[in-house]
A and B are shown apart, each in its own frame.
Chain A
């Protein structure tokens, strides 16, 4: 890793790709895709994050054990999101309907 020097050309290329993707995410937000707006927004964000991790953060040139830590981080996040959501979306009644609004916030 320490002997691999990423040339500035790669960094500038990644920066330009990130700019294009930022423009794409704003443009896509103005198109009505119904439920798919959020899917497109998250897909673009994930693509951008992947570019940052692989090139700016040198994950592509890192040893396997460092890459394993990165994969674990994403995996643990996935566990948290998936298990919490599997609880909420499978309850037989709407949880939100049973939460009363605190008095102070009403009016």
Chain B
């Protein structure tokens, strides 16, 4: 493709070039909205039919870890936005630093997610043959708070009275939990890969105040992934906390 400096041949001006990229990126994000939308639709219907099981499943999640991850992810969106600003005003070192901060925060988010997933495996809350919603109260670990276990036992017996098929319906909740957070995490991993590339480009001085489209476009993607989590957090962690 013919290129004059930062301007590719098919465009008249840098402004037009950048607006075309942003438009294309938003069209891609529109398809992503519908991609995740299917899962949110499935969630809505199943929560409508199996509210009890969804409430019980939601209460097994660790609100501290989920809350911390929300803060981490929103903070990473801030550093991403700041790197876009830094590239606009030509601060090359600041651009690189903010991109590295975003990558570190994104990786921290994934690390917390690993801890959360591990807990679910330990408590037999992964859908499949060994799934058992009351595994934790039946086999409490030595360092578990007995009061907490007692409260969970009571909650479970009430839930079983309301919904005898609780074990099956809770698996629907956890299938959606792993499906939705898993797809979200996959997007984060892809984003982290793109950040590594951006950091390299930034270090070699590829971005200038007139050409920083990649920083802005990957920024759009990163913020979109943040928005998905903004919805996932209350829908998965906060269903039934007021009991």
**Residue positions of A touching B, CB distance < 8 A:** 1-3, 5-8, 11-12, 14-15, 18-19, 22, 25-26, 29-33, 37, 41-42, 44-45, 48-49, 52-53, 55-58, 62-63, 65-66, 69-70, 72-74, 76-77, 80-81, 84-85, 88, 94-96, 101-102, 104-107
Q: Does any Cβ of A come within 8 Å of B230's Cβ?
A: yes
Q: Tell whether, in the assembled complex, residue B238 and residue A26 are in contact, meaning their CB atoms are under 8 Å apart.
A: yes
Q: Are A52 and B226 in touch, CB under 8 angstroms? A: yes
Contacts of A2 in B (CB 8 A): 14-15, 18-19, 210
Asked whether A5 lies within 8 Å of B242 as measured between CB atoms, the reply is no
Instruction: Please measure, in the bound complex, the distance between the C-alpha atom of A72 and the C-alpha atom of B88, giving whole angstroms.
Output: 29
Q: For window 70-115 of chain B, which residues contact chain A by CB distance below 8 Å?
A: 70-71, 74-75, 77-78, 80-82, 84-85, 88-89
Majority DSSP secondary structure for residues of A touching B: helix
Q: Which of B28-36, B116-124, B189-197 lies on the face that meets chain A?
A: B28-36
Are A56 and B33 in contact (CB-based, < 8 A)?
no
The interface residues of chain A lying within 8 Å CB-to-CB of B220 are 57
Question: Are B23 and A49 in contact, CB atoms less than 8 angstroms apart?
Answer: no
For residue B63, CB closer than 8 A to chain A, the reply is yes
Contact of A31 among B30, B75, B81, B242 (CB under 8 A): B242
Most chain A C-beta atoms within 10 Å of own C-beta, residue among B38, B84, B210: B84
Tell which of B42-50, B137-145, B198-206 binds the partner: B42-50
Q: A19-B74, A66-B22, A77-B37 known; A53 and B235 CB under 8 Å?
A: no
B168 contacts which chain A residues (CB < 8 A)? 101-102, 105-106
B167 nearest CB across to chain A (Å): 7
Interface bin, chain B: 35 or more
User: Of residues A7, A18, A30, which shows the largest number of chain B Cβ atoms within 10 Å of its Cβ?
Assistant: A18
* Subset of 22 A-B contacts with CB under 8 Å: A3-B15, A6-B81, A6-B85, A8-B85, A11-B82, A14-B78, A15-B75, A18-B74, A22-B67, A22-B70, A22-B233, A25-B233, A49-B230, A57-B220, A57-B223, A58-B216, A70-B30, A73-B30, A76-B30, A76-B33, A80-B37, A81-B37
The 6 A-B residue pairs with the shortest CB-CB distance, nearest first, are: A73-B30, A29-B238, A96-B49, A41-B234, A32-B242, A15-B78
CB neighbours (8 Å) of B30 from chain A are 69-70, 72-73, 76
**Given A26-B67, A29-B234, A49-B227: A56 and B77 within 8 A (CB)?**
yes
A19 to B23, CA, bound (A): 29
CA distance A31 to B219 in the complex (A): 36
A-binding residues in B (CB < 8 A): 14-15, 18-19, 22-23, 26-27, 29-30, 33-34, 37-38, 40-41, 44-45, 48-50, 63, 67, 70-71, 74-75, 77-78, 80-82, 84-85, 88-89, 129, 131, 165, 167-168, 171, 210, 216, 219-220, 223-224, 226-227, 230-231, 233-235, 238, 241-243
